[in-house]
Amino acid sequence: QNEAYCRVSAQLHRIAGRLGCKFALFAWENLRSYDQMHEEVRHILSNSDLVICGSGVAELLVRPYNAHTVRCIQVGVNTVGFCPIDNVSKSHDIVFIGRMTPEKGIEVLKKAAEGRNWKILWPEGRGPYDQLPRRLNRARVHVGHSIDTKFWVEQHGNYSNYEALACGLRVATSHSRCIVEALQGCPGVMFDPQGDDEAMQRTIEILLQQDGLNMEGRKWIEQNYGYAKITAKHLAAFEEMLQQ
Averaged pLDDT, 121-131:
84
Of 142, 162, 175, nearest to 220 (Cα)? Answer: 162
Q: CA-CA distance, 36 to 32, in Å (whole number)?
A: 7
pLDDT tens-digit series, residues 142-179: 999 999 999 999 999 999 999 999 999 999 999 999 99
**In the 8-state DSSP scheme, what is residue 77?**
B
Q: Is pTM, for the whole model, over 0.85? A: yes
pLDDT tens-digit series, residues 67-101: 999 999 999 999 999 999 999 999 999 999 988 89
Cα angle 15, 16, 21; round to 5: 150
* Mean pLDDT, rounded, of the chain: 96
Alpha helix ranges (H) inside 63-192: 106-112, 132-137, 159-166, 177-183
Residue 111's pLDDT band (cuts 50, 70, 90): very high
Of 87, 208, 214, nearest to 138 (Cα)? Answer: 87
